Each structure stands twice: as structure tokens, then as C-alpha cells.
Structure 1
Amino acid sequence: MSDQRGIPRRSFLKSAVAIGGTAALSACVDRFGEPDVEQGPEDLSTLPDRQHAWDGSLSTDDHGNVTAARHHALLLLDYEGDGAPTEADREQVEQSFRGLERAYRRSNDGLLFTVGYTPSYFDRFEADLPGSVDLPEPEAMAPFEEPEFDTPDAAVHLASDHGQVVVAAEEALKGEVSTLNGVEMPASLSGVFSVADRRTGFVGEGLPAENDDAAGVPEGEVSEDAPLYMGFKSDFSKSQASEDFVTIGEGPFAGGTTQHVSKIRLHLDQWYEQDSRYHREATMFCPVHAEEGLVEGTGENMGDSTGMEEHSCPAHTEEHAREYGKVGHSQKSARAREDGSPLMIRRDFDATDDGRASLHFVSLQETIGDFAETREAMNGTDVAGESGVGQRTNNGILQYMTVERRGNYLLPPRSLRALPPARPA
């Protein structure tokens, strides 16, 4: 579907989200009209207290895999006040979030959002975070990376299938629009928070192919049905932890979770123009998958599982390194498990920030330590040096990525999402 100038609808909406602002919002409305989106409930107590409880509000595919919303924005925010937040600031922030919830149904067809807080934010309090919360400062997670660290006070993640909704919600939070979807906004974040950084992106069939003019991805190589730049789906339900698993279980922040956000630059020219399909399957999944032809297209044929355990890929990682001279990304990551469950939920999305192909890796886990354990397994330092496996080459997909930024956040339950103290009563 295109507008009157022949610009594909998907590309136009992606660009509008990336540009942001009231001009982009007006352009969306002028060309495509207001999306027909149901308003949220008047009684907000009907919503889950877990901010991160998105799965029940997202669509699923034919295999029961949860399908991500198509358009995303990450707003990194600085608190404008001095010292500990005031009750007036807390009330203003809470009312702004309630405005979003009343304006849009809580779903991918409406709006989903979370707000998280960094270690830097909690440093303003005399009391430390309770022992049930693991929220360290961000750090490099591999010997070969040198990322910069995100140290704002907070981050808001907005997600919707409608690019107009993401842009409108952002503008409402900034105080640039006063009405959303027919609902008067009771407050904004203006005067309490300022935007320190803004990141946007997309995920879903067709979007990466339509946005392959960014540096780092060769034009015309990404298949039309690929949901991500690397050409394969990643939303297999058996490769994701449950929301129950990643939820903090005790203490004043029970019902919350932790979030890690990485900004990763992609280098996919070799991936598509030099590497074979066999190599891509072997290093994304497992050498056995490539040998036996287990992956068709983007991997839709695999249902709800990458088949790691069924084909004993994690247990044979070192053996495969010696035999094939390469190991798979999913194969290595699947070694980080607790009672058979992955340790985290991925909610990442592709981007063209700065005109470069990127991935904003967003993960949820009960503790940042769970993310660190998963990342250590993915690094594959234990198999580097085996046959053709290097520290990054033939070691999963490491050589095609550069981690540029990292940040850690606490996502409190909804009842504490507005400028929480370190030790809630």
C-alpha cells in the first residue's frame, strides 16, 4: 500500500517514526489518516501490574509464537529535578502514563510501553536498592568489545503496529500534543524529564527489505519475508523465557524485572555477498541445521523451536567446533538455561539510526546476572581456537556485530513506575 507519491506505506511509517516530531505525525495523518485504534479502559486497575506483561496483549502466529509489534521507539530521559524526586513530579509522571493507557488499548494494535530506571537514577537516594534487585552499572560483556555506557535516569520503550501511534504517544509525553485518540491528556513529562537520546526501529516481515539502503546491509539481499536484517526469524517461543520466569519474585519491587538495552551496529555485506546459505544457517543456528537442511527460508518451518535440544546442538558445541570449524549463535546461547528454560526474553528490533543498519537489543530478565550468563555463553570463548573458530570469526554471528552502547534498567511494577524511591515503603 502506497501514498499518492508512490512511497510504500511501511517505509513511510518507519521513516516517520525515525524522524519523529509533530511534523512527522502530521504527515502520517495527512497521507494515511488516523489509525482505527480502540481506546484503553477507563478503569486502569484492570491492567496488569507487571509493566513487562506484553505477551498476552501481542498477536501470535500459526505456531503460537508471540509476534513483536512492528514499530518501536526508545526515549532515554534525564530527570530535571535536583536530588530525590518530589511527590508533585511523581504525580505528573504517573498522570502522563495513565493518559497513554486511556488513549490506546494495551496491545500491538494499540500501544505497549514500559518505563525503566538506571543505576544512575537510584544513586540520588541515600538508601541502596534492596538485595532482591540486581542492577549493576553497565559494562563490557566480551573481551573484544568497547561500548559506551548509557547513564540517563530513565528509558521509555514505546511499541505498536501503527507508526502513527508511536509518534503520537512520544509527542504526548513531550507535551507537544494534548489529545490522543480522542482522549485529553491529563499531563506530560515536560518539565520533569528531558530527552537525552532517542532511538527508533522496526521488526516484521517486509520492513528490513524495504529499508535495506542503510550502510551495513547490501541492497536487494534481504528477503521480503524476513522480519530482521539477518534474514531469519528469532521469535521462537521455546527460545524465550516466560514472563513469570523473568519477574522479580520478592521485595518491594516484586512484579518488576530488569532490562538490558544494547545498541549494536550490523556489518552484513559479507554475510550476504560472500558467505553461503550453508554458512549462514550453521552460524545462526547450528552446523547440524545446515548439514541436514533443517531451515527453510526464514525458519518458519521450524514452528515454535529452533530445535537445539532435539539435535543435541548445545551439548556438542565443542565437538562441532572441531568437526565443522564453526559453531552456531543459537547453539551457544542455548547453553545458558535454568531447569530447561532460557534466562531472558528478547524484545529487540532493527534500526537505521544514523543511516546505518543496527539492532537495538532489548532483553528482560530477573537479574542482570542472567543476561551476563547468557552473553558469556554466546561469546563462545571456550571454543575459540578450535579448528577454524576464532574469537569472533566462525563463532556464531559475532563477527557481523559491533556493540556500541549498553545500558541497564529496573522496570518496576506499574504501581511504582513514576520516579520510584530506592526503598519503597
Structure 2
Amino acid sequence: MHRENRGVSRRAFLQSAVAIGGASALAACMDREDVSVPAGVEDPGSLPSRQHAWNEHLDRDDAGNALPPRHHALLHLEYDGLPTDADRETVTSALRTLERAYEWSSDGLLFTVGYSPAYFERFDADLPDAVDLPEPRPLSDFEDPVLDDPDAIVHLASNHASVVLEAEEALRGNRDAANDVAVDDALTDVFSVAERRSGFVGEGLPADNQDTGGVPDSEPVPEDAPLYMGFKSDFEKSQASEDRVTIQSGAFADGATQHVSHIDLNLQQWYEQDDRDSRVAQMFCPAHADSGAVERTGENLGDSPRLEDCGDPAETASERGVVGHAQKLEGTREDGEPLLLRRDFDSTDGGNAGVHFLALQREISDFERVREAMNGDDVSDSTPVGRRQNNGIRQYLSVTHRGNYLLPPRQRRALPTPEGADA
């Protein structure tokens, strides 16, 4: 064990509690955190129609970048048969309890409920043309992921580990109250929980949780890094706006699509075989490594990774034999704006350093287009860069799972039909 002679930090303890889950973890977590959580709204109907309307309710750093909540859980849910009005009322009640219990913010609770293509297959009708929701599939020649097909997925997020755990326990029917609000109905009165995943993001959390598979014994993750790979990624100007990822018309207007993949990280190679300049070149671009543009985790860059300074990916690959991850993605912008709003977070699920890559977009095809650019096959076919070697960060990533979901607008999130009716 890397840290066998050290005490467990408060941050590491809280993350471990979220990873374990359950009533015992919640009790221990509440004792350790001892925070006053702001209450929610009396009328949940006053909240935004968009479930993914988080940005105005997130903390910000000094450069104005939105900071994601620090603790996360993903619940995969299964549902049998065709939805009934009674089941919809139960789901609505369970979700509105959370909205009454916790402020819609990072210091309270932010959450979404999404539905998979498998869920919608039970209906005779098809989803409207405005909704692009294909089955998940492998997106490169080097991956063979499990294709997730739960009926629904719930994403819970908060700065406070105890909030994530208490909200989950309420949804599972294991709490009489959540933040002093009575719990009358549970999601598990309607759904069964097929799988649970968890994670974290934020300064200090990856360093506190590097005693896991895929990380060298030398404990290389920088103490101030928000993510395992040592760099920040939440630059405001590298994120799509919530407007850009929102479905604009039809029954699911104000909704979005969500892609969730799990990726194992090979940090042994990332930190022990490559020096910092190599890591900067592969994460951002070689020009950034040459100029020393990226200090520490990249906080000096402000609200933009300054990719306009990186040059053309194919030219860089041809001349330098390496191309940057972010550099390749710059060409996928439309009207100057990125296509994806990323809300990913790190994880120790499965006993290995990893990331749950959660992306919101208007259409799943937007995500697949960005992933194609990340693959960089067009670059590797005509330059010294390999399909994986020196091709951004591909050689350090192993995709284990992929899933696609529709996030309906809030008023249609309880067991919707493809037409959006009766939901």
C-alpha cells in the first residue's frame, strides 16, 4: 500500500465513504463532515425545466470557470413492463422530495435522471426526429467496452459526500427523512438498482486517492490536481454552453442527451515513462510544452487552454511526431463553440484509477464526432504519429463501458413515453 504509514485524510475518508455507499458509510460521513446543508424549494415546479441547468448554481474559481461538485454517484436502474400512472406519481414524488430537501446547488444537491434506448424499446412509437439516441457502440478500433443498457440512470452530485449518500439512501427507501424533509416515496418502489458507480473531482481528491491500481508507488499525482492526470480541464471556453447542448424542439425540448463511459487510466506509464514536458505536449500540444505555457495544473491559463496557439494537428504531428489531445479536438467546434459540456469525474471503481466520462450534447452524434477527432486516425494515417502512441492521450486510456441516455425536461422525467405524453 502506498500510504500504509499515513493517517487517512478527511478528503480521502469522505471519498471512500461515497465509494462504499450505504447507511453505515452515511453515518460515518455525517459525523466527519458536520455541515449545514441549505434546504431546497417548497415548490419544485419553480426549478428550471432543464435538468442539466447546473452552471448558474456551481461554484466558480478566480478565472470564472465553473467548478464541478466534488462527490458523485451514478445509479443504474431497471424497470419492468409499461409505465403506469401510479409508478409515474411515485417517481415524481421521490424526485421532488430531493428538490424540497436540498438547495439546487453544489452545496446542496444537483442531479439528473436519464433514459436509455433500451427503455424506449418497450413502446410501439419511436422517439421524435429531434432526439438522436442510438444504442451505444465501440468508438475506436482499440476498445471492446461493455455496452450499458440499464433502463434509467441517476446522477447525484454535491460538494458534500453526506448529501450524495443521504439522497441515495432516500431514493432507495432507506431514510424516513432527507435533510429534515419527510421521505414518502422511493425510486426503488418502482425501479430496481442494477449497479452503482461513484467518483470525485476537485483539488486534492485525486492525490488523496492514488493508492489504487494503475498508479505508480511513487505517488506522483500532484497535490493540487483536480484530476488524476494532473491537469485541470474545466476551462470555461473549452466547454459548450447549456444552450448549445439543449434539444430545441419537440416533446423533449429543454432536454439533452448524455453519454457516460468509464475509462481505466494507465498512470504508471503517464507518470513514470513521460516527463512533464511530454505530458503537456500530449495533453495540450507540443507548442505549449515548448513555451512553458502550462504552469502546475494549468490554472495560470485562466478560462481558456489557448489552443489557438497550438497550430494545425496534422502539421504538428508531421513535424514533431506527437500531437496534443486538446489540439485535436479544437477542430470540432461549430461557430467557435465546443459541442460537448463535460461533467466527468475520477473514480477508484474496480480498484483502478479511472474516470467516468460524462458528456452532455444536443445529439449523440455530436459526441461521436468529437470522439472521432480524439482518435486522430486521419492524423496517424499520414504522419509519424501512431494510432495510439504519441496521439494525444489515447495510449493511457482503456474504455471499459459506454452508455447513451436522454435527459428529458424536468416535467417529463418520470417514465416518459417516446411522444413525451402522459409523463
Residue of structure 2 in register with 1:99 after alignment:
97
1:331 to 316, 327, 331: 327
Deviation at 1:241, TM superposition (A): 0.4
* Distance in structure 2 (CA, Å) of the matches to 1:385 and 1:217: 31
Q: Percent identity?
A: 60
Matched with 2:20 is 19
One-letter code aligned to 1:138: P
Alpha-carbon distance in 1 for matches of 2:382, 2:268: 26
Question: Any unmatched runs of 5+ in structure 1?
Answer: none
Q: Secondary structure at the match of 1:120?
A: helix
Q: Quote the Cα distance in structure 2 between the aligned partners of 1:110 and 1:395.
A: 40
Q: Is the 8 A contact 2:130 2:250 kept in 1?
A: yes
Give the Å deviation of 1:17: 0.3
Correspondence for 1:179 among 154, 160, 177: 177
Which residue matches 2:341?
345
Which amino acid is 2:388 matched to? R
Residue type of the partner of 2:351? G
1:32: how far off? 3.7
Q: How much has 1:228 moved relative to structure 2?
A: 0.2
Alignment partner, residue 392 of structure 1: 388
Q: Write the letter of the residue equivalent to 1:252.
A: A
Q: Distance in 2 between matches of 1:108 and 1:278?
A: 34
1:136 aligns with 2:134: yes
Whole-Å separation in 1 of the counterparts to 2:66 and 2:184: 33
Worse overlay, 189-198 or 204-213: 189-198
| Distance in 1 separating the partners of 2:332 and 2:70 | 28
Name the residue aligned to 1:407.
Answer: 403
Summarize deviations over 1:376-413 as a string: whole Å, max 9, x none: 11110011145541000100000000001100000000
Q: Contact 2:314–2:383 at 8 Å: present in 1 too? A: no
Q: Distance in 1 between matches of 2:354 and 2:188?
A: 29
Match of 1:38 in 2: 38
User: What is the CA deviation profile of residues 165-216 of structure 1, one whole-angstrom value per residue up to 9, with x for unaligned ones?
Assistant: 0010000000011101111013111231111111100000000000011111
Quick one: which of 161, 164, 169 aligns to 1:163?
Answer: 161
3-state SS of 1:190 partner: helix
Q: Map 1:81-100; keep pairs closer than 5 Å.
A: 81-82=80-81, 84-100=82-98
The residue identity in structure 1 corresponding to 2:58 is: L
C-alpha distance in structure 2 between counterparts of 1:186 and 1:419, whole Å: 19
Of 125, 146, 149, 1:148 maps to 146
Unaligned runs of 5+ in 2: 1-5
Question: Shift of residue 28 of structure 1?
Answer: 1.4
Q: Does 1:372 align with 2:373?
A: no
Q: After the TM superposition, which of the residue ranges 24-33 and 266-275 deviates more from structure 2?
A: 24-33
Measured in 2, the distance between the counterparts of 1:172 and 1:147 equals 31
2:67 alignment partner, SS class: coil
* Cα distance in 2 between the residues matched to 1:146 and 1:105: 40
Amino acid at match of 1:419: L
Query: For residues 182 and 148 of structure 2, what CA distance do their matches in structure 1 show?
Result: 33
With over 3 angstroms needed to count, the CA separation of the structure-2 counterparts of 1:6 and 1:212, relative to structure 1, is closer
Between 387-396 and 375-384, the greater mean CA deviation after superposition: 387-396
Structure 1 length normalisation: TM-score? Answer: 0.96
Partner of 2:3: none
Question: In the alignment, which residue of structure 2 is the partner of 1:53?
Answer: 53
Equivalent residues of 1:159, 1:166 under 8 A apart: yes
C-alpha separation in 1, matches of 2:83 and 2:44: 24
Q: Could you tell me which residue of structure 2 aligns to residue 193 of structure 1?
A: 191
Alignment-derived partner of residue 221 in structure 2: 222
Partner of 2:70: 70
TM-score, scaled to structure 2 = 0.96
CA distance in 2, matches of 1:32, 1:129: 44
Q: Equivalents in 1 of 2:348, 2:384: separation in Å? A: 32
SS in structure 2 opposite 1:424? Answer: coil
1:401 partner letter: L
Aligned-partner SS, 1:382: helix
C-alpha distance in structure 2 between counterparts of 1:189 and 1:241, whole Å = 31
| Rounded Cα–Cα distance in structure 2 between residues aligned with 1:408 and 1:322 | 35
What is the CA distance between 1:45 and its match in structure 2? Answer: 2.4
Deviation at 1:290, TM superposition (A): 0.6
Structure 2 counterparts to residues 297-312 of structure 1, below 5 A: 297-309=296-308, 311-312=309-310
8 Å Cα contact 1:70-1:161 kept in structure 2: yes
- Which piece of structure 1 moves more, 6-15 or 99-108? 6-15
Q: 1:144, CA displacement in angstroms? A: 1.5
How far apart, in 1, do the equivalents of 2:88 and 2:239 lie? Answer: 34
Aligned to 1:246: 245
Matched-pair contact (CA < 8 Å) for 1:388–1:394? no
Whole-angstrom distance in 2 between the partners of 1:170 and 1:339: 40
Does the CA contact (< 8 Å) of 2:286 and 2:323 recur in 1?
A: yes
